[in-house]
Amino acid sequence: MAHSPTVSRVASGWLWRAAYRRAVSAAFRTVPLYRERWALDGRTDPVLVPGRTGVDGGAVPAAEVQRRLGDLVPLAGGSREVDPLRGLGPVVAMDRLVGRGDLVVVLDDERPGELAGMPVGVRGRVCRVDGLGSAADAARWAAVVVGSAEQLGRMPDEPRARLRIVPRLELADLTDADGERGLLHDHQLGFLGALRRCGGWHLDWPRVYARETDAGLAMTLLWQRSPCFVDVLVGGGVKGVVAPCPTHGTPVVRT
Amino acid sequence: MTLSVEVSDPRCDPEPPGWSEFRCRHGLYQPWDYELLRVEAWMSRNPPLLVLARYDGAIRAAMAVMVCGSVRANRYALPPRARGGGRGIRLAQVFQPWLGEAGFVVAAGVDAAEGRRLLRELERGVRRHLGIGLAGVAYRNVPLDLVPLVAGRGRLVREVTAPAAVLTNRWRTDEEWLASLSRNRRKNVRRVDRLVAADDTLVVRADAARSDVDGAVLAAMLREHRRRHGRQPFDPRSPVAGAYLDAVVRRTDVHTLTYHERDGRLVAFCLMLDHPVTPFLQFWATLPRDDGGRPHLYFDSHARAVRQVIRDRRGGLAAGRGMFEQKRSLGFAARPMCVVVAPAPVLGR
């Protein structure tokens, strides 16, 4: 029996919410920072300790996350390395931003090298702004360049004409977006979503959850164990709403 | 007189009436404070319970019981009264995990026979609370003079290999203390004094109620320090939490000694729990030598503690277990301790 779009939207929303509750529960059981905050101060949505609701619904400021990275490692152990390029593969696959044979080039002056986790048939590379020309030549069909506004501004004119430019924006800068495409990024959590043709900033919802709190939007990586990011106030706390996209039905953020 | 036993879970139960007064009157160290027990309980794999025996409402005996269940080592305990939280085989360990001391106390003025009866009553209370899955009660770190209170037929008694280090203050000045040490150790203490005084890169600060230190930083250093020295076998404790140390160092009755680099990086720290008779050196941690740690700071911290005890005319200084040979060279004596295990069939008997 075929399901109506409404039924599948409700079901995916329910699954999204269930994945978030599972991530919160696992963080409370195993990760020192969240145990400390939610057991002693409390949280909402869900409340874990009856009577304790905490501050800002239990969301954690990004500065505290940065300061206490060691306490984001579960008791069982794990990595404390932050990967600012996490999640790039799924977000560039949204709306077929890239296709087979394409090359995705991320501008980063500190960590040049190959990129893993890209969609099938797509290669990825991290390179410096001044090494962009040779990287673009290696693409079979097209090269998509991802970078911050500052990095894109430093790009030389010559390769710019034959490249597809996709700006990388922080949550606080979403209102400044003026192009058709863009990627939502945070330096701790990595790539969180993308601007699609419908004009909405879509979350990478199978992997990322967003929640509205008094201090701003709190982001959760649903499947990353270590370092564990749950309800992090990215960008220092940016007010916004999470709503279903009228076109696609999946969650979009508006700030 | 009516005897009653009450079991409090610090995570969800309010502080039992009269507990603060009992703690102060009997000189129990700061980790017995109910608020610290609450933080410790939430941040534990095996949370403690506070079990009290009262005669007509007055507390006559107390136990801190760590409930060790089949919870996996990589998880905190389930919340109190959670579904599935009361199943499985459990062992009740009676001790103070962050002191290496006995976990029971009998009120002053109670004789040995009555003390024994009260402790048996507490065991029954623990058994009633934990139910059929309780395999037994293990009393850890029991000083020899208290062993008769908990030993008995069908109970296993074994001496623990690492004794506690206790220093008795017999000196009026620190020069007298230095004169009592071996020639080598005396020279070494003086050399350490000179090294620390001459080290321009080091900022040393000791004070109570420290608001300038971050418990999370202390906890991270302590965890790393302990990891380097290897985990003890059968250690039921969880890693020390930042929130716990945050709460400890803010107290007015806890002295925190810190060694920082000039740029603000923490090199080492030592916590001393103040006490009217015998202050307690609770935690020590340092950076590894190849990352900026100075090997002589361990002796410096202990020498400072001994000098403070002499200056304040306290009765002595307790320094927990471990590194006993080094402590002995500073004048500490060994206090042998035992572990007593009471299997379920003999509980309360």
For residue B133 the two structure tokens come to 């899955």
Query: For residue A32, which residues of chain B lie inside 8 Å, CB to CB?
Result: 43, 239, 241-242
pLDDT at position A1 is 45
Query: For residue A75, which residues of chain B lie inside 8 Å, CB to CB?
Result: 45, 73-76, 238-239
Cross-chain Cβ contact A67/B239 below 8 Å: no
- Option in B75, B223, B243 nearest A30 (CB): B75
pLDDT at position A189 is 96
Q: Which among A199, A170, A198 is positioned nearest to A183, based on CA atoms?
A: A170
Q: Report which secondary-structure segment, H or E, holds A92.
A: helix A88-93
CA distance, residue B112 to nearest chain A CA (Å): 40
Query: For residue B45, which residues of chain A lie inside 8 Å, CB to CB?
Result: 75
pLDDT digits (tens, 9 = 90+) for B67-109: 988 656 789 988 886 655 566 788 999 999 999 899 999 999 9
3-state DSSP assignment of residue B169: coil
pLDDT at position A112 is 80
pLDDT at position B70 is 64
From first to last of its 255 residues, chain A has per-residue pLDDT tens of 445 667 667 677 889 999 999 999 999 999 999 999 999 999 999 999 999 999 999 999 999 999 999 999 999 999 999 999 999 999 999 878 888 888 898 998 777 888 888 999 998 989 888 777 666 666 556 788 999 988 888 887 776 667 888 999 999 988 766 678 899 999 999 999 999 988 899 999 999 999 999 999 999 999 999 999 999 999 989 999 999 999 998 999 998
Task: Return the percentage of chain B with pLDDT > 70, whole number.
Answer: 97
Q: Which among B90, B93, B69 is positioned nearest to B142, based on CA atoms?
A: B93
Cross-chain Cβ contact A29/B75 below 8 Å: yes
Q: Which residues are bridge partners to B164 per DSSP?
A: B321, B335
Cross-chain Cβ contact B42/A40 below 8 Å: yes
CA distance, residue A27 to nearest chain B CA (Å): 10
- Option in B74, B216, B243 nearest A76 (CB): B74
Lowest mean pLDDT among A140-149, B172-181, B249-258, B323-332: A140-149
- Option in B42, B73, B216 nearest A39 (CB): B42
Cross-chain Cβ contact A68/B216 below 8 Å: yes
Q: Does B213 touch chain A (CB under 8 A)?
A: no
Is the pLDDT higher at B186 or at B234?
Answer: B186
pLDDT at position A99 is 85
pLDDT at position A131 is 76
Type of residue numbered B74: N
Q: Does B216 touch chain A (CB under 8 A)?
A: yes
pLDDT at position A5 is 63
pLDDT digits (tens, 9 = 90+) for B255-271: 999 999 999 999 999 99
Sheet bearing A103-107, strands edge to edge: A113-115, A123-127, A103-107, A143-147, A164-169, A182-186, A190-195, A201-203, A251-254, A241-244
Quick check: B243 pLDDT over 80? yes
Q: What is the ipTM of this complex?
A: 0.90
pLDDT at position A141 is 60
Lowest mean pLDDT among A8-12, A33-37, B19-23, B192-196: A8-12
Q: Which among A207, A215, A204, A216 is positioned nearest to A241, based on CA atoms?
A: A216
Cross-chain Cβ contact A32/B73 below 8 Å: no
- B60 pLDDT band, cuts 50/70/90, is very high
Q: Does B43 touch chain A (CB under 8 A)?
A: yes
pLDDT digits (tens, 9 = 90+) for B117-175: 999 999 999 999 998 889 999 999 999 999 999 999 999 999 988 899 999 999 999 99
pLDDT at position A136 is 61
Q: The pTM is what? A: 0.91
- Strand A251-254 to B202-208 pairing: unpaired
pLDDT at position B86 is 60
pLDDT digits (tens, 9 = 90+) for B271-319: 999 999 999 999 999 999 999 999 999 999 999 999 999 999 999 999 9
How far apart, in whole angstroms, are the C-alpha atoms of residue A230 and residue A224? Answer: 9
Chain B interface test: which of A36, A37, A66 (most B C-beta within 10 Å): A36
Task: Return the percentage of chain B with pLDDT > 90, whole number.
Answer: 82
pLDDT at position B69 is 80
What are residue B27's phi and psi, to 5 degrees? 60, 40
Chain A interface test: which of B74, B214, B238 (most A C-beta within 10 Å): B74
Q: Which residues are bridge partners to B257 per DSSP?
A: B206, B270
Lowest mean pLDDT among A108-117, B35-44, B53-62, B132-141: A108-117
Query: For residue A226, which residues of chain B lie inside 8 Å, CB to CB?
Result: none
Q: How many CB contacts within 8 angstroms connect chain A with chain B?
A: 47
Chain B interface test: which of A33, A41, A64, A75 (most B C-beta within 10 Å): A75
